């Protein structure tokens, strides 16, 4: 069984939405994520359900099936391996890779991925800190907490940042925040959740609550 490029994108989107939610995924949520109309999503859900990659009941939302999870993880694996390639071998910045990897992830050649993986030294995380599933779709889950959750006076290391927003990633470059950076929370502003932090023992800097909530740290 083969999925079309469009089907792959739907599946991946549903998988990612399901990752960050424990309830069923709604038609509207998918349509917003993919910038399509809910009616189009309904059509596609029937198709994906026929192919057994999702469990779908009218009006009840969807879950990704076991079969769908395997497929989704292979697409994600490809996406993240290509991102590593772009950054480590071609010198891309971490804010330049997402869009290109969105195209490269659909290339169909198991041999290519196997050899790319070897060429890259079997990396386990992509340039944004996201784990790379192995050939069986497995990867290690690391317990993380958002920077915004750290208490004043506490420290953490940056483990993962959002991958798809170039403007945020450029900002992180500007303030020299990288994967692995040590973050010390110096103060929190209750009014709007602004956080005052120190990155790698350098100058103090304010970041918005919105940014702070997207930076994932090791919880020590």
- Selection from its own copies, DNA, none that 37 binds (CB < 5 to 8 A by kind) is DNA
- Return the residue of 7, 32, 92, 206 that touches its own copies, per CB under 8 A: 92
**CA dist 82 to 106, 140, 211, Å?**
11, 19, 26
Helix (H, G, I), strand (E, B) or coil at 204: strand
d(CA 65, CA 121): 31
Q: Which class for 159: exposed (0-12), middle (13-18), buried (19 or more C-beta within 10 A)? A: buried
Based on the shown chain and the rule CB under 7 A, indicate whether residue 42 belongs to the binding site for DNA.
Answer: yes
Separation between Cα atoms, residue 32 and residue 218, nearest integer Å = 31
For residues 62 and 197, which CB has a smaller minimum distance to DNA in the complex? Answer: 62
Q: How far is it, in rounded angstroms, from Cα 185 to Cα 191? A: 17
Mask for 99-128, x = binds its own copies (CB under 8 A): xx--xx--xxx-xx--xx-xx---------
Minimum CB distance to DNA smaller for 27 or for 148: 27
Nearer to DNA among residue 61 and residue 133 (C-beta) = 61
Find out whether 210 and 145 touch, Cβ atoms under 8 Å.
no
Residue 119 interacts with which of DNA, its own copies, none, CB < 5 to 8 Å by class? its own copies
Nearer to DNA, 60 or 114 (CB): 60
Dist. CA 209–CA 196, nearest whole Å = 10
Contact of 70 with 20, CB cutoff 8 Å: no
Q: Kindly tell me which of 19 and 99 has the beta carbon lying closer to its own copies.
A: 99
Residue count of the chain, please give it.
220
Report the residue number, 53 or 104, with the smaller CB distance to its own copies: 104
User: From the CB of residue 183, how many other CB atoms can be counted at a distance below 10 Å?
Assistant: 23
Q: Which of residues 153-172 bind its own copies (CB under 8 A)?
A: none
Give the one residue of 2, 20, 91, 192 binding its own copies; rule: CB under 8 A: 91
Phi then psi for residue 137, to 5 deg, are 85, 10
Residue among 16, 33, 36, 70 that touches DNA (CB under 7 A): 36
Q: How far is the CB of 24 from DNA (least distance, A)?
A: 8
Q: Which residues bind DNA (CB under 7 A)?
A: 4, 6-7, 26-29, 34-47, 56, 58-61
Q: Which residues bind its own copies (CB under 8 A)?
A: 86, 89-92, 96, 99-100, 103-104, 107-109, 111-112, 115-116, 118-119
């Amino acid at each position: 069984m083969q999925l079309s490029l469009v089907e792959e994108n739907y599946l991946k989107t549903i998988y990612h939405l399901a990752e960050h939610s424990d309830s069923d995924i709604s038609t509207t949520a998918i349509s917003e994520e993919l910038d399509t109309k809910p009616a189009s999503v309904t059509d596609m859900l029937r198709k994906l359900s026929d192919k057994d990659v999702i469990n779908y009941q009218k009006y009840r939302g969807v879950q990704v099936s076991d079969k769908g999870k395997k497929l989704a993880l292979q697409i994600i694996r490809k996406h993240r391996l290509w991102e590593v390639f772009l950054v480590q071998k071609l010198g891309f910045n971490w804010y330049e890779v997402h869009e290109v990897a969105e195209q490269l992830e659909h290339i169909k050649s198991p041999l290519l991925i196997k050899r790319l993986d070897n060429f890259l030294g079997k990396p386990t995380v992509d340039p944004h800190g996201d784990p790379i599933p192995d050939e069986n779709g497995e990867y290690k889950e690391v317990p993380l907490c958002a920077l915004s959750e750290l208490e004043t006076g506490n420290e953490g290391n940056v483990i993962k940042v959002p991958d798809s927003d170039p403007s945020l990633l450029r900002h992180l470059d500007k303030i020299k925040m990288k994967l692995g950076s040590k973050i010390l929370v110096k103060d929190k502003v209750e009014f709007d959740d602004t956080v005052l932090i120190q990155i790698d023992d350098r100058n103090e800097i304010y970041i918005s609550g919105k940014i702070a909530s997207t930076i994932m740290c090791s919880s020590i």
